[in-house]
């Protein structure tokens, strides 16, 4: 690592970090890539980003990650991911990447700290974020009755009354999943028809324990009283009549889509219309040689910690193979200036 000092009279000091493998993102995908790469002797460098640990850091009980008989806490699980990655030789840096140049060789990233990161190969594991309504009570009750993932949290609402907010494929699929667990599922949609695929709608309408509230928005998530506050109801408003109501639920699932954290890479790498990085089928290879994408940043379907970890493993193995076949004339990382 080379230290670059600023001009006399300034106080800031920036570093240049050189690594064979740079990993952007510190969720299940990024940390798993780091574990496999470190064990292969690549000494990977992980830049943790804005939310180290990814979405699991805002998840309370995790019951569907293999290897744990009892529910575990999401933040604790991610602490273990990090500890394992560092134990086998990965370096984790707390910084936020503000710019990348994927056309340069070596690949180049700039941190909010002013540090520069140079790498022979790159794993993008910056994840995705669920879209939220932004209504009062939603953030405070996240993990306490409010969720954005039925597959993750639906199990905790077996035999209970739940609501799903949204009208696209994600909302209908969440409602279908929950209909097999919950006593009753109420879908709340701001329009008078779904945007979901017709076959999904047919399946939903055939469910006897599913009802739909049309032309309605949720304006507030309401909590129970007392020290340990949890969701008790949602305040709604009908967009056509203006009528308001307070609907009691044990759980609410916000299903209005996800946004991949790919703004940094727009115009530099292949993406689909929604901003997910495209990878070759059965691979984490992107449109740029030596650049791989893992986890929710390229997965618009499953979005689970275990699948993210799987693609992180794939990305590290593919990066290792790519590095082994670099042209002989390619400069070694130690020779970069």
Q: Is 149 a catalytic residue?
A: yes
Supply the DSSP symbol for 153. Answer: H
Backbone φ and ψ for 186, nearest 5 degrees, come out as -115, 120
Active-site annotation holder among 61, 79, 149, 215 = 149
Counting Cβ atoms within 10 Å, is residue 27 exposed (0-12), middle (13-18) or buried (19+)?
A: buried
Catalytic residue among 95, 153, 296, 299: 153
Unique residue bearing structure tokens 């909010």: 112
295's CB contacts (< 8 A; 6+ apart) are 25, 27, 28, 29, 30, 54, 125, 127, 308, 311, 312
Residue 290 near residue 122, CB atoms below 8 Å:
yes
> Would you give the end-to-end CA distance of the chain in angstroms?
11
- The tokens for 54 are 């990814």
Q: CA 217 to CA 222: how far, in whole Å? A: 14
- In whole angstroms, what is the distance from residue 337 CA to residue 335 CA? 6
User: Which of the residues 95, 112, 115, 152 is marked catalytic?
Assistant: 152
Q: Is the peptide bond before 135 cis (omega within 30 degrees of 0)?
A: no
Residues 6 or more apart whose CB falls under 8 angstroms from that of 126 comprise 24, 25, 49, 260, 261, 262, 264, 297
d(CA 154, CA 162): 9
313 given a catalytic annotation: no
So which residues are the catalytic ones? 149, 152-153
């Amino acid at each position: 690592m080379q230290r670059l000092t600023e001009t006399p009279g300034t106080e800031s000091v920036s570093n240049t970090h050189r690594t064979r493998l740079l990993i952007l993102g510190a969720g299940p995908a990024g940390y798993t890539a780091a574990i496999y790469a470190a064990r292969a002797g690549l000494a990977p460098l992980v830049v943790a980003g804005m939310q180290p640990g990814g979405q699991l850091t805002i998840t309370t009980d995790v019951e569907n990650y293999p290897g744990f008989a009892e529910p575990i806490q999401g933040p604790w699980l991610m602490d273990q991911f990090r500890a394992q990655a560092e134990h086998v030789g990965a370096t984790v840096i707390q910084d936020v990447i503000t710019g990348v140049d994927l056309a340069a060789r070596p690949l180049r990233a700039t941190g909010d700290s002013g540090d520069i990161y140079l790498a022979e190969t790159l794993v993008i594991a910056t994840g995705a974020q669920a879209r939220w309504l932004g209504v009062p009570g939603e953030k405070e009750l996240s993990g306490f009755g409010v969720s954005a993932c039925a597959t993750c949290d639906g199990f905790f609402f077996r035999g209970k009354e739940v609501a799903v907010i949204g009208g696209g494929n994600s909302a209908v699929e969440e409602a279908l999943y929950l209909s097999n667990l919950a006593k009753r599922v109420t879908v709340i949609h701001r329009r008078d028809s779904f945007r979901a695929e017709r076959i999904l709608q047919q399946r939903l309408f055939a469910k006897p324990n599913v009802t739909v509230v049309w032309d309605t928005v949720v304006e507030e998530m309401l909590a129970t009283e007392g020290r340990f506050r949890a969701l008790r109801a949602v305040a709604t408003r009908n967009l056509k009549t203006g009528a308001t109501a307070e609907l009691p639920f044990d759980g609410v699932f916000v299903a209005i889509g996800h946004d991949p954290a790919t703004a940094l890479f727009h115009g530099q790498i292949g993406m689909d219309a929604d901003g997910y990085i495209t990878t070759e089928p059965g691979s984490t290879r992107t449109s740029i040689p030596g650049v791989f994408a893992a986890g929710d940043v390229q997965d618009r379907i499953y979005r689970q910690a275990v699948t993210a970890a799987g693609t992180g493993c794939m990305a590290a193995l593919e990066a290792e193979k790519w590095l082994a076949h670099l042209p002989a004339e390619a400069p070694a990382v130690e020779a970069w200036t």
